[in-house]
Each structure stands twice: as C-alpha cells, then as structure tokens.
Amino acid sequence: MNDRAQRNVLLWLALCLSISSVSFSGFGRVYPRIPQGFDFMQFYAGVTALGLGMRDIWLGADYHALATELSSGRWRVPNAYFPGFFVLMLPFGALTFDNAFLVFTTLTLGFYLLVTSWLGQRCFVQRPAGTLFGALLAVFTVFTGSGIDCLCLGQVGFLIAGLISLTYLLGELRYPMLAGVSLGLASLIKAWPALLLLHFLLRRQWRGLWGFALGYGVPSLVGVYLWGVDLYFYLYRGLKSFGYQPSPVNQSLTGWLTYSCGLSHVAAIPLHLVAAMLLVAGMAWLQSSKPKFPRSLFYSLLVLFACLLAPWSWPHHRLALVFPLLVMLERTTRREQAWNWLGVAALSALFCLDGEIVIHPLAAYLHQVAAESGLIFLLMVSAIVCILFAGWNEKEDEVVHA
C-alpha cells in the first residue's frame, strides 16, 4: 500500500463519516420520541412468555397481552423469530426490559466493531492501518440509518453482520467447522444468511456444512427440549398468518418488484424463484470457470445476493454489506481500477441513504426518495456489477493476508 493510496482511503472515510454524522444532528432532541427498543421487545417478550409457560408466542392472545404489559402499553409487539433464537436470548430474560435492551445493544455493537476491525486488520497489507480502517468503517456504518435502527430499535443487525464477517475470517484461517457454526448462528437469527452456504458448497468445504448444522441445530434442539416440538406448529401457523406487505424499506428483489414495480406478491414469487435458481447456477459457473476469482469478492457477491433474495430485507440487515464495502475499499489501495472506486461509491451511498429511522430532515427526505424510487435496490445491483468487473481478470488466489 503506497502513501497516496492510504491517504485516499483516509480521505474517503473522513468524507463518509462527515456525511453520516448528519443523521445524528438533533439526536438528543429526537431520540426521546423514538420507540426505543421496539424490535428488541419481540425478543424480550418472547423469551419471557416462554419462561412463564406460554407456547404460542406468535398469535396467542396471552402473549400479546404480556407484550403489551411489558411495554407499558406502548406497543402490541408481533413476533416472527424461531424457537432456537430464543435459546440464545435466555440470559436476557433474567433482566428488566431496560437493562436487557442496554446490555444486548452494547454487546452486539461491541462484537460488530471488534469483528469489523479484525476484518480490516486481516485484509489490508499494513496491519495497523488496516485495523484503523476497519474500525473507522464500522463507526461510519453505525452512524448511518442502518446503524441507528439497531441502536434505537434494538435490532439484530450488528450481530448478523458480525457473524457473517466472522464466518469468512474463520474460513480463511482454516477453521471451516467454526466458520460453519458462525453462519449457522446467523441463520438461526434470520433465515437469509443461509444462502451463504454456497460459500462452503461450491468450495467443497464439507466441514463448514457440519459446523452450520451444529450452529443451527443445537440451539433448535435445545429449544425443543425446553419448550416442546409443538412450538414449531405455532411458529408455522404464525408465519403463515403474517403474509407479505411491500414496504419502501424492504428493498429486496421481492420488495422492489412489489413496491417499486407494482407487481402483486403472487406474481413476484415465480420471478424470485427463477432469480434464485439463476443465482446458484451463475455462482457455480463463476467458481468453475474463474477459479482465480478472489475469494473475498466471491463472498461479497454472496452477501449482496443474500440481501437481494431475502423476501424481507430491512435496512438493519444491510449492515452486513460492510464486508463487501471493506473488501472493495482495500482493493483501491492495490488496483488502479475505476470499478473498485465505483463499487465503494455505490455501497457507501447505500449506507448513507438507507434506514427506517433517519434523524436529519434532509437525510430523511433523501432516504424516502431513494426507497420509493427503488434506488436502494439498484445500488445493490450496481455494486454486484462492479465486483464482477473488478475480479473478472484477477490473477491472485488470495486476498486476505496470512
């Protein structure tokens, strides 16, 4: 990494931090009016209800009455999480809601910052500088709409993003079993990271698949042991009743087709399935025909595709895109290619425009325009194109440095 390239990265990060800090303008004035911990209440009410002997924590009237009571009448909190996830949440059920919300947010944020800093340290040639770049990039994303959503609503975005990056890092360090466990835990929280199993399948890393089975299966079996297998019947009935509601912040392929293009959800389903099959075929072809395609770029493509193919793809999910953003930013220090900077620009713009809770009026207006126009979806597609062009003629086999 030469001095000019390092300076360019620092200038870019300084610019991004300056822009994203606008989202925090007036934060102290607006924060009290935000439904603090709204999404975390799903986890807290669910694990509390299970501890009290309730089993239908999706549609049960007793559960909804308890959730309303726990939130002091503020919210009627729905629930769409799997039983295995509540096994991970058991320690928080012993705390009051306010304390549980604070501890959960602190732990997941700290985990995200540490893993992203480690990712920078492993990816950049100059280790100290790489750690700094990873930390600054993580701070930038926390200051964006996606990060604010997790801070204010108590969502799982920090945790999922950290686990997805950790999966890659452990795989590159030759711990495929632990990498699979990390991915299994991420998929236990939200289903869409399971698409990253292609990372193990296409590379024939069978130990990664075993690790995934452990990370996903063990908490699920513990949930069955604690609360009974009938919990999955209630889960199925609850998920079936929720249906699908297009939303401007749900800019996955399904969200884009239903909200921006006006298709019905029924019409979007076959297109979604066709896109998924083409994706699997395309990634398999890329792996076989371009064996020197950088692994970090290949994994970046999978992360982007996973977000696009998730039927519900909310802003806090897209914190996971810190991985391709860091990888593309690192490439700008080694390759004088426009595709690298274009990819960085598309992903950075996505973070700056994305979020359910955006504080500053101008940022909120830009987010609304970007969401309703489908620009968020198109930025993700643009990032995919940039990554493909950036790695197409690459000769190196490794990107993460030992």
Domain-embedded: residue 1: no
Domain-embedded: residue 230: yes
312 Cβ partners below 8 Å, 6+ apart?
244, 250, 252, 255
**DSSP codes of every residue in 103-117:** HHHHHHHHHHHHHHH
Per-residue pLDDT of the chain (402 residues; tens, 9 = 90+): 567 788 888 889 888 888 877 766 655 555 555 567 788 988 999 999 999 999 988 888 888 888 888 877 776 677 878 999 999 999 999 998 889 999 999 999 999 999 999 999 998 877 688 899 999 999 999 988 889 889 888 899 999 999 999 999 999 999 999 999 999 999 999 999 999 999 999 988 999 999 999 999 999 999 999 999 988 898 888 877 777 777 777 888 888 888 888 888 888 889 888 998 999 899 999 988 888 899 999 999 999 999 999 888 888 999 999 999 999 999 988 877 889 999 999 999 999 888 777 666 777 777 778 878 889 899 999 999 999 999 987 765 444 544
6 Cβ partners below 8 Å, 6+ apart?
126, 129, 333
At CB < 8 A and 24+ separation, what contacts does 27-31 make?
27/359, 30/359, 31/152
Range of the domain at 74: 25-392
Domain-embedded: residue 300: yes
Domain-embedded: residue 5: no
d(CA 215, CA 170): 14
Domain-embedded: residue 8: no
- Asked if 39 contacts 356 with a C-beta cutoff of 8 angstroms, the reply is no
347 Cβ partners below 8 Å, 6+ apart?
321, 324, 325, 328, 379, 383
Q: Which two tokens stand for residue 77?
A: 């909190």
Closest residue by Cα to residue 77 from 105, 43, 31, 34: 43
Closest residue by Cα to residue 162 from 118, 121, 200, 199: 118
Number of domains in the chain: 1
Domain-embedded: residue 12: no
Domain-embedded: residue 3: no
The pTM of this model reads 0.92
Domain-embedded: residue 153: yes
